[in-house]
């Protein structure tokens, strides 16, 4: 007797459910900010009028210098990219003051985070990070089968470094990796240099610390510190940075890590041979040297932060001080508030980021955009809350 279609389907599900590792099945895939085209289709909106403030992208887009460099590189796309990134590494090394073999290029800084997890952690090991920290930390941990140890955040949703240090000590020899974000995404919290330096000095040398500085360029002058000096001092540290935010190259996916050679050697053994494409390398070389564009973006971000937070003050909304290019704002007291206000904003053509998956269901993360984009969001939020 031939089974009915639904019986065939059931048999297939049972068979395929046995395929794959348990810790991989347990991973909830990363969900990025919704694309403009998707929101336009779903709600019948004009794409040109939609405002996206969801993914912490640079509202200025890609610098002209990077566009020109990318177009020039496009003439040679029949060739594989330079797997070693010779030119880009030399530009980075000259500015950072480290040898080129201290630098690892990544397909976005996200790639560096995942390479670090794959290089030093496996099943039975522990990876430590803060509650309300970047979602990729637990994902990278699960992907290698290690145990994720989430340390409670401070009262202002920031990293509790003493508590993280205690978690390392409590783990015995199981702790292999620690992720620290500064500024932190999605809360925008900032750790003073002295606190990070003391933490690095106290972490056992067999535990690798990744200092994730994807938003480093948005720090105010008085907040800035010399993280490269820490890389030189601490052999167990990896510094991770991105070209996606301040440099406006999010669509090209490029970032880099800085560490002493014994760690970069590990990362390079497992990274894909051509993980950074030719266009990305050419654009990054130009963008990294475009100081005028970087300063313009910094000033725009500061002005936008004032514009948004002033509106939140007028509306009586709680928000967290942010050292990044986004602001986390509380839009209600019930656990459906974030999702509810987010949906209402979507219907008005405003895309922001709900953060219920970070354990913050009452909050929304708002990327800082152009003045007119910020204004459109503020007007829509006022109308919804009214």
User: Is there a cis peptide before residue 218, judged by omega within 30 degrees of 0?
Assistant: no
Q: How far apart are the first and last CA of the chain?
A: 64
Distance (Å, whole) CA 202 – CA 195: 11
d(CA 14, CA 16): 6
Is residue 108 predicted with pLDDT exceeding 60? Answer: yes
Centre a 10 Å sphere on the Cβ of residue 204 and count the other Cβ atoms it contains.
11
pTM over 0.85: yes
Q: Distance between CA atoms of 160 and 35, rounded to whole angstroms?
A: 34
pLDDT value at residue 25: 76
Q: What separation in angstroms does the CA of 281 have from each of 96, 254, 276?
A: 17, 8, 7
Question: Distance between CA 67 and CA 61 in Å, rounded?
Answer: 10
Paired residues of 103 in beta bridges = 258
Three-class secondary structure of residue 334 per DSSP: coil
pLDDT of 115 strictly over 90: yes
Q: How does pLDDT run across 192-204, given as a tens digit for each residue?
A: 999 999 999 999 9
According to DSSP, residue 319 is labeled B
How many of the other CB atoms lie within 10 Å of CB of 135?
Answer: 16
pLDDT single digits (tens) 260-300: 999 999 999 999 999 999 999 999 999 999 999 999 999 99
- What dihedral do alpha carbons 247, 284, 352, 213 form, nearest 10°? -70
- Given the candidates 3.90.1150.10, 3.30.43.10, 3.10.620.30, 1.10.3720.10, the CATH classification of the domain at 31-60+292-385 is 3.90.1150.10
Q: What is the pLDDT of residue 157?
A: 96
The CA–CA distances, whole Å, from 162 to 151, 168, 175, 191 equal 10, 10, 15, 12
Residues 6+ apart with CB under 8 A from 285: 69, 87, 88, 91
| pLDDT for residue 328 | 98
Does the pLDDT value for residue 3 go beyond 60? no
**pLDDT score recorded for residue 16:** 56
Domain ranges of the chain: 31-60+292-385, 69-288
Q: Distance between CA 210 and CA 201 in Å, rounded?
A: 14
Give the phi and the psi of residue 274 in degrees, each rounded to 5.
Answer: -120, 50
DSSP sequence for 320-337: ---SSSEEEEE--SSTTH
CATH of domain 69-288: 3.40.640.10
> Which DSSP string corresponds to 249-263?
-GGG--EEEE--HHH
Give the confidence band of 9 by pLDDT, cuts at 50, 70, 90: low
* pLDDT tens per residue, range 315-356: 999 999 999 999 999 999 999 999 999 999 999 999 999 999
Give φ, ψ of 76 to 5 degrees: -125, 30
The total of other beta-carbon atoms located within 10 Å of residue 169's CB is: 11
pLDDT digits (tens, 9 = 90+) for 165-183: 999 999 989 999 999 999 9
């Amino acid at each position: 007797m031939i089974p009915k279609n639904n019986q065939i389907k059931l048999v297939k599900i049972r068979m395929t459910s046995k395929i794959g590792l348990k810790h991989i099945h347990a991973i909830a895939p990363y969900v990025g900010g919704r694309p403009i085209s998707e929101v336009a289709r779903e709600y019948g909106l004009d794409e040109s009028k939609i405002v996206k403030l969801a993914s912490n992208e640079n509202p200025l887009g890609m610098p002209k210098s990077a566009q020109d460099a990318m177009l020039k590189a496009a003439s040679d796309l029949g060739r594989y990219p330079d797997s070693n990134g010779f030119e880009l590494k030399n530009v980075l090394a000259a500015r950072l003051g480290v040898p080129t073999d201290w630098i690892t290029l990544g397909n976005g800084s996200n790639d560096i985070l995942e390479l670090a997890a794959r290089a030093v952690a496996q099943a039975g090991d522990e990876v430590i990070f803060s509650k309300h920290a970047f979602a990729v930390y637990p994902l990278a941990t699960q992907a290698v089968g290690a145990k994720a140890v989430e340390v409670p955040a401070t009262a202002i949703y920031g990293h509790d470094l003493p508590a993280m240090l205690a978690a390392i000590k409590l783990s015995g020899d199981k702790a292999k990796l620690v992720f620290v974000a500064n500024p932190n995404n999605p809360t925008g919290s900032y750790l003073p240099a002295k606190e990070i330096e003391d933490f690095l000095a106290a972490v056992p040398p067999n535990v690798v610390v990744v200092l994730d500085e994807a938003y480093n360029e948005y720090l105010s002058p008085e907040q800035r510190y010399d993280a490269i000096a820490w890389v030189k001092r601490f052999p167990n540290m990896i510094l991770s940075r991105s070209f996606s935010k301040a440099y406006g190259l999010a669509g090209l996916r490029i970032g880099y890590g800085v560490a002493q050679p014994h760690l970069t050697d590990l990362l390079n053994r497992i990274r894909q041979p051509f993980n950074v494409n030719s266009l990305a390398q050419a654009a990054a070389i130009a963008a990294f040297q475009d100081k005028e564009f970087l300063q313009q973006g910094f000033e725009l971000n500061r002005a936008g932060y004032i514009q948004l937070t002033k509106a939140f003050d007028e509306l009586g909304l709680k928000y967290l001080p942010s050292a990044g290019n986004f602001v986390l704002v509380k839009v209600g007291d019930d656990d459906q508030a974030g999702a509810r206000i987010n949906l209402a904003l979507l219907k008005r053509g405003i895309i922001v980021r709900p953060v219920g998956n970070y354990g913050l269901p009452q909050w929304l993360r708002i990327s800082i955009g152009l003045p007119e984009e910020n204004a459109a969001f503020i007007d829509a939020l006022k109308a919804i809350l009214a």
